[in-house]
Amino acid sequence: MHKDALAGHANTEAGKPFYRILYVQVLMGLALGVLTGHFWPEFGAALKPFGDGFVKLVKMMIAPIVFCTIVSGITSISDSREVGRTLVKSMALFYLLTVLALLAGLVAVWLIQPGVGMHVSVSTLDPSVAAKFTKQASATGFTDFMLHIIPHSFFGAFADGEVLPVLLISILIAFGLSRAGDGGVVVTKAVASFSHVLFVSFGFIMKLAPLGAFGAMAFTVGRYGIHSIGSLGLLILTFYLACSVFVVVVLGTLARLNGFSLWKTIRYFKEELLIVLGTSSSEPALPGALRKLEQLGCRKGVSGLVLPMGYSFNLDGSAIYLTLASIFIAQACDIHLSWGQIAAMLGLMLLTSKGAAGVTGSGFVALVATLSVMPDLPVTGVALLVGIDRFMSEARALTSMISNCVASITISLWENACDREVLARELGQGSTPAAASTIAAAPLVREEKSWISTTQSAA
């Protein structure tokens, strides 16, 4: 039944005209956005609400989708120790990737040296630019960060829409349902059914993705102008190069060591990546990525934990940006940093790069948080970057998104929670050009099987 559902889905989509395929529509929206912003900048800048509205619609759905996915996934796992192993392995992999990302940014800025020769005087920098982000970027210690994961109330986690508090509640409820006997079976079935309704509803929202990509790109080009890239073009080029090397070398090696192709994985998630490119935010891609991971043969109980965690603990694009931007400011202002100062900065960045949602500007806020507690670098130096940050935001979000997809597949393979045959077949075929509104029957079938398994164990 599972194979038939996927095959029927692929055949249905194969006959669609190309202009009705979601990723083609998103590409058209991006191209129109660039043209609109370039030739009619004021009109393009006024289209910002289209992009913002689409992102807000998606964020509205993320908390309940994450909750239902994790709850229905964990309740299908018979051994609760598997959840603990998944969490430990995920955090270990996330921190390893973050360290490598920080080093990638550091090596790139050292080799290319985009800030050398600028001779910027700190006294000439505008402090008001950094002041706008200081409240958002208040650096917190590890204890404060962990306490922030605990929401003020049960429903407050859903109201705020932050992934980590929802993740905590989901795990607690899932373990409660696993041990609640007959009373938990009814709730588990309801959660599985509600999850299917959420994904169908999310499909309606995704039909607006081309419009959201159009508005966001038109605003970016219209507000900042393509010409703004030229003044700090070497810095942008250095950042994109660092991200590309990290994806190809680090993530490519990780994928190859675990027996799957990075390029085929990127192709499989192309719809989600194009939406990330258009909106400069990885959040709109979360629900679709969760669904596709399951279609790749990854068990929901594992991939449903790893991917949402990655949105807060595996922001590799932001990690690359932090080291690169910090050293660039030092080079531009003729500030020499010792090895000890750089080591302390890297340790601080391991904390400041965590916990931010994958939304537009989170990397810039994390940079301000880092510089705010580093006396060696002027926080006013962010004024050098504010004009071009939007053009680097896309690369940050794309790098983090690819990293989280690769990490989710990797952890699933480590936990023997991914069908390698299904993974190879799906990646070999590539993603079906499906609009997200068409939900394959396979996820619902798995939810039904999970509920049946839970019912039998409870009985």
- For the chain, the domains span 2-458
Which pLDDT belongs to residue 230? 58
Instruction: Answer yes or no: are the C-beta atoms of 296 and 304 closer than 8 Å.
Output: no
Task: Characterize 410-432 residue by residue with b for buried, 16 or more Cβ atoms within 10 angstroms of its Cβ, and e for exposed.
Answer: bbbbbbebbbeebbbebbeeebb
Identify the burial level of 386 via C-beta atoms within 10 angstroms of its C-beta, where 0-12 means exposed, 13-18 middle and 19 or more buried. middle
DSSP string for 183-209: HHHHHHHHHHHHHHHHHHHHHHHHTTH
pLDDT for position 459 = 39
Distance CA 287, CA 257 (A): 27
Structure confidence at residue 358 (pLDDT): 46
Q: State the burial class of residue 274 (Cβ atoms within 10 Å of its Cβ: 0-12, 13-18, 19+).
A: buried
Backbone angles phi, psi at 327, to 5 degrees: -70, -35
Which helix (H) or strand (E) segment holds residue 113: the answer is: none
pLDDT at residue number 257: 95
Topology of domain 2-458 in CATH is: Proton glutamate symport protein (1.10.3860)
Reading the chain (459 residues) residue by residue, the pLDDT tens digits are 344 434 444 444 455 676 677 778 888 888 898 889 888 888 988 888 888 888 788 878 888 888 888 888 777 766 667 778 888 899 899 999 999 999 999 999 999 988 888 787 777 665 655 555 555 545 455 566 677 778 888 888 788 777 778 888 888 888 888 777 777 888 888 888 888 888 888 888 888 888 888 888 888 788 766 665 555 788 889 999 999 999 999 999 999 999 999 999 999 999 899 888 887 778 788 888 988 999 999 988 888 888 888 887 888 998 999 999 999 988 888 888 888 888 888 887 887 676 554 445 567 777 877 777 777 788 778 777 776 777 788 888 899 999 999 999 999 999 998 999 999 999 986 544 443 333 333 443 344 444 334 334 443
Q: Is the separation of the CB atoms in 412 and 253 below 8 Å? A: no
Would you state the pLDDT for residue 401?
93
Pair of tokens at residue 291: 């669904």
Residue 22 CA, chain-centre distance (Å), reads 20
Q: In the beta sheet, which residues pair with residue 418?
A: 298
Q: What is the pLDDT of residue 243?
A: 95
Q: What is the pLDDT of residue 80?
A: 66
* Residue 459 DSSP class: -
